[in-house]
């Protein structure tokens, strides 16, 4: 069963990468294209960095940022152009892995629900089925955490764009970021609750069933929020 899950995940991730290639290229070109005739770009070419970088980007990528300590990311026009290409590839991978993580989250939720259902079953094979489902669930959760963490790091560590556009009012990007704060909270809380289910104090005090319910609800909400964050970027 675990082998089947692994094959399905690899297939899903591959399809996600190919399905997104065209739309990602269009968005990347719009955001980071090095257009020499762009007036906004010309006004910033002397500094090489965009105005309005947040504290974290400043810490990493400002003129005296941490990444500038490496000669590979020295702040020069030639290396800055290379940075933009690196950024583009990182954001492409960010989106592809994000879509793959949606699939593994769904597998985690479904296998978790089946595991709960089997725990109340009187079938003679229930115990064996639960072991199989738990293996699938654990593999799906581990894969999700790896994909989610890598997706976050790709966005977090990506070099800054040529220009930071400030959109007034509500936008898809603002919705994406708002949902990101929410699903990040769920991604932290859900596995912690899952660990607590089988803790000695929970089993002794009979709180295991209550924690399973919280874990289940938290997992569904987090999956919904994360899926929503990916969907809003497609429209």
CB 218 within 8 A of CB 193: yes
Considering only residues 2 and 203, tell me which one the structure prediction assigns the higher pLDDT: 203
Q: DSSP letter string over 119-156?
A: HT---TTHHHHHHHHHHHHHHHHHHHHHHHHHHHHHHH
The pLDDT of residue 30 is above 70? no
Percent of the chain with pLDDT over 70: 75
- Spatial distance between the Cα atoms of 108 and 187, rounded to a whole number of angstroms: 12
Task: Give φ, ψ of 96 to 5 degrees.
Answer: -65, -45
The pLDDT of residue 156 is above 60? yes
Q: What is the span of the domain harbouring residue 175?
A: 169-235
For the entire predicted model, the pTM comes to 0.72
Least confident of 73-77, 133-137, 199-203, 216-220: 199-203
CA dist 40 → 52, 61, 118, 166, 204 (Å): 14, 20, 60, 13, 65
- Spatial distance between the Cα atoms of 192 and 141, rounded to a whole number of angstroms: 12
The model's confidence at residue 170, banded by pLDDT at 50, 70 and 90, is confident
What letter would DSSP give residue 45?
A: T
Of the residues 129, 147, 166, the one at which a domain ends: 166
Q: Return the structure tokens found at 137.
A: 């669930």
Considering only residues 119 and 112, tell me which one the structure prediction assigns the higher pLDDT: 112
Half-sphere exposure of 186 toward its Cβ, with a 13 Å CA cutoff? 22
Residues 105, 58 share a domain: yes
Give the pLDDT of residue 206.
Answer: 61
The pLDDT of residue 46 is above 80? no
Most confident of 18-32, 87-101, 107-121, 199-213: 87-101
Residues 187, 127 share a domain: no
Residues 195, 157 share a domain: no
Give the pLDDT of residue 6.
Answer: 43
The pLDDT of residue 95 is above 50? yes
Residues 9, 117 share a domain: yes
Of the residues 145, 166, 187, the one at which a domain ends: 166
CB 54 within 8 A of CB 166: no
CB 160 within 8 A of CB 53: yes
């Amino acid at each position: 069963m675990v082998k089947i899950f692994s094959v399905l995940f690899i297939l899903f991730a591959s399809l996600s990468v190919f399905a997104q290639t065209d739309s990602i290229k269009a968005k990347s070109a719009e955001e980071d294209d090095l257009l020499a005739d762009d007036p906004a770009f010309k006004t910033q070419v002397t500094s090489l960095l965009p105005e309005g970088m947040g504290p974290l980007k400043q810490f990493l990528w400002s003129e005296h940022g941490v990444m500038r300590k490496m000669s590979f990311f020295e702040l020069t026009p030639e290396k800055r152009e290379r940075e933009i290409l690196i950024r583009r590839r990182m954001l492409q991978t960010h989106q592809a892995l994000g879509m793959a993580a949606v699939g593994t989250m769904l597998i985690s939720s479904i296998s978790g629900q089946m595991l709960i259902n089997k725990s109340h079953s009187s079938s003679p094979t229930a115990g064996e089925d639960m072991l199989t489902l738990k293996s699938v669930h654990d593999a799906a959760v581990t894969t999700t955490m790896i994909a989610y963490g890598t997706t976050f790091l790709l966005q977090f560590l990506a070099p800054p764009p040529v220009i930071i556009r400030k959109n007034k009012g509500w936008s898809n990007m603002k919705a994406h970021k708002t949902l990101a704060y929410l699903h990040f909270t769920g991604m932290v809380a859900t596995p912690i609750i899952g660990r607590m289910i089988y803790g000695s104090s929970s089993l002794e005090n009979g709180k295991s069933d209550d924690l399973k319910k919280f874990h289940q609800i938290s997992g569904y909400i987090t999956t919904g929020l994360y899926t929503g964050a990916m969907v809003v970027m497609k429209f």
